[in-house]
Amino acid sequence: MTRRASFLFLGILVVVGLGAALAASPAFAQAGPFGVGNPELGASAPRGSIFAWIIHQQSIFYLALKSGLRAMKTDPNAGWWMIGLSFLYGVFHAAGPGHGKAVITSYVLANDETLKRGIMLALISAFVQGVMAILLVGSAILIFNLTALQMTDATTALERTSAAAILGLGLWLVWTKIVEPFVRARRAARAAPVTASEADVVDCAIGGDPAAFAAACPCGVQHMPDPSLIKGPFDWKKALGAIAAVGVRPCTGALIVLVFAFAQGMRLAGIGSVMAMALGTGFTVSVLASLAVSARNLALKIAGDEGPWPRRILRTAEVTGALLVLTAGSLLAGAAIWGGPIGG
C-alpha cells in the first residue's frame, strides 16, 4: 500500500509539473492591446486541445462582457447579468494558460499548506490581481492621462517585475527545501566522532531511520509539520512572496474590460466587473490548489503514520513544488528578457 501511495502521488506531481510548465510557457501567451493577452485570439493554442477550447470560451464571455457593458447604459438591471458573466470569464480565464495557478499550487505543495490556507492564498492572490488592474488603468487614464503605448510600457514593466518575483520565490524555495537540508545532512554526516546524538541527526536528515520520523528532530529540520504550527495563525510573511509574485501582474481580461468601460464612461461597472472576475479566478485556482493538497493528504493517509514513506512523500512534494516555481519563474523571466508576451 505504501508503494502504491507513493506512485499515486508521484504520478499526480508529474501531471502538475507538466501543467505548470505548459501554463508558464510563453508559447501560450497571446499578444493584445495595451500589452495584455487578447481573449479573442486563440491561434497560439494547439487546435483541438483543451487550452484551445478554454480560450474559445474566454472569447465568447469577453464579447458578452462588452455587450453587457453597452446594455447597462440603457438597462441598469443588466448589471447583475454583467457580474455573472464576469465571474464566469474569471473561471475560464484561470483554467487557461497562465502562471498564477501554477505558482500558487506549487507553493502550496512546497510549503505543506493546509487546504484552508491553500484556498486563502488563491483568493487573496486573485483579489490582488484585480486591484492591480484597477490601479493601473485608473491611474493611467484619470491621473496620468497615458496613451495606449505608454500603458503598454507600464504593463510590460509589471510583467517583468512579476517574472522576477516568481524567479526569486523559486530560488528561495529551492534553497530552503533542497539546498539547505542537503547541506545540513552533509555536515552532520561528516561530523566525527559520531556520537549517538549525531547518529540520530544523520538518520533523521537523510531518512535512514524510521524511528527518527517526528515533527522535529535534532538536525533542526522539520520533516513532518508540527500540528501546533498547522493549526496556528497564518504566517503572512511566509506567503507574502507568493501573493506578491502572482498579484503584481494584473489579470489579462480585466485590463481590457476596464479600458473599454472607462472609455464608455462606466467606471463603477468596470470596477465591479473586474472584482467579479477576480472572484471567478480565485475560485478556479482554489479548486486546483485543493486538488493538490487533497492528493498529497490522500497519499499520506494510504501510506500510514509509520515508516519512511510519509516523510518521503512530504519531501517529494516540497522538492517538486519548489522546482515547479523555479521553472515557471525561469520561463517567464526568459520571455521578459527576449521580449515575448507573458500569459496572465
Longest dimension (CA), the chain: 84
What's residue 156's pLDDT? 66
What's residue 291's pLDDT? 79
What amino acid is encoded at 45 in this protein?
A: A
What amino acid is encoded at 94 in this protein?
A: A
CA nearest neighbour of 108 among 243, 215, 278: 243
Find out whether 304 and 2 touch, Cβ atoms under 8 Å: yes
Angle 267-303/50-71 helices, nearest 10 degrees?
Answer: 150
What's residue 67's pLDDT? 72
Find out whether 311 and 68 touch, Cβ atoms under 8 Å: no
What burial letters (b/e) apply to 317-331, b meaning 16+ CB within 10 Å?
bbbbbbbbbbbbbbb
CB 174: neighbour CB atoms within 10 A? 17
What's residue 287's pLDDT? 83
What's residue 141's pLDDT? 74
Residues in Cβ contact with 257 at an 8 Å cutoff, skipping those fewer than 6 apart:
62, 65, 66, 69, 86, 270, 273, 274, 277
Distance CA 135, CA 138 (A): 5
Find the angle CA(8)-CA(11)-CA(13) to the nearest 5 degrees: 110
The pTM of the full predicted model, rounded to 2 decimals, is 0.53
299-307 contacts, C-beta under 8 A, 24 or more apart: 299/5, 299/6, 299/8, 299/9, 299/12, 300/5, 302/1, 302/2, 302/4, 302/5, 302/8, 303/1, 303/2, 303/5, 303/6, 304/1, 304/2, 306/210, 306/213, 307/2, 307/210, 307/213
Find out whether 190 and 180 touch, Cβ atoms under 8 Å: no
* Domain residue spans of the chain: 2-337
What burial letters (b/e) apply to 38-73, b meaning 16+ CB within 10 Å?
bbeebebbeeeeebbbbbebbbebbebbeebbebbe
| Cell numbers for 112 | 505543506
Mean pLDDT in runs of 10 for the chain (344 residues)? 47 44 39 38 49 63 68 70 80 64 66 71 85 84 62 63 72 80 77 51 44 40 36 62 74 74 78 88 82 74 66 72 74 65 49
* C-alpha torsion angle, residues 220, 224, 226, 227 (rounded to 10): 180
What's residue 212's pLDDT? 40
- Burial zone of 163 (CB within 10 Å; 0-12 exposed, 13-18 middle, 19+ buried): buried
